Amino acid sequence: MEPTRCIFCEIVAGRAPAAIVWESAEFVAFLDHQPIQPGHLLLVPREHVDYLFELEAPRYRDLWDCAQKLAIPLKKPRGPIASESP
Ligand SMILES: [Zn+2]
C-alpha cells in the first residue's frame, strides 16, 4: 500500500508545481492555488509534520517570525517580497 503523499512535502521537494515566493533552509512560502485573497501565501517547514504544533519550539517560533515578516510586503499595494531572508 502506498503511503499517503503530503502535498506540502511534494512542493518542497519540487515534485509538485507551486509559485514559490520565498524559501530558506528551513521553510518554503508559496502562493495558495485557491487564494482567499490576493497574495494568500502558505508557509510550510521543509520537514514534514502532520500538525503544525508538532514543530519543536525554536522552529515553531522561527516559522511565525517568518510569517510575520512575509506579511509586511503583502500589506503594501503590489509590494514585492524581498529575496533576502526575513
Ligand atoms: Zn509533508
Tens digit of pLDDT for each residue in 16-40? 999 999 999 999 999 999 999 888 9
Q: How confident is the model at residue 1 (pLDDT cuts 50, 70, 90)?
A: very low
Q: What are phi and psi of 48, to 5 degrees?
A: -75, 135
Rounded to an integer, the average pLDDT of 46-71 is 94
What CATH class has 7-74? alpha beta
For residue 36, report the distance from its CA to the centre of ligand 1, in Å. 22
In the block, residue with C-alpha cell 508545481: 17
Q: How confident is the model at residue 8 (pLDDT cuts 50, 70, 90)?
A: very high
pLDDT at 4 over 60: yes
Is residue 45 within a helix (H) or strand (E), and if so which, with residue range? strand 41-45
For residue 49, report the distance from its CA to the centre of ligand 1, in Å. 6
Q: Which residues pair with 29 in a beta bridge?
A: 22, 43
For Cα atoms 31, 32, 34, give the angle at the middle one, nearest 5 degrees: 140
- Where along the chain do its domains lie? 7-74
**Cell triple for residue 63?**
516559522
Contact 73, 80 (CB under 8 A): yes
For residue 15, report the distance from its CA to the centre of ligand 1, in Å. 12
Q: How many CA atoms lie within 13 A of 39 on its CB side?
A: 13
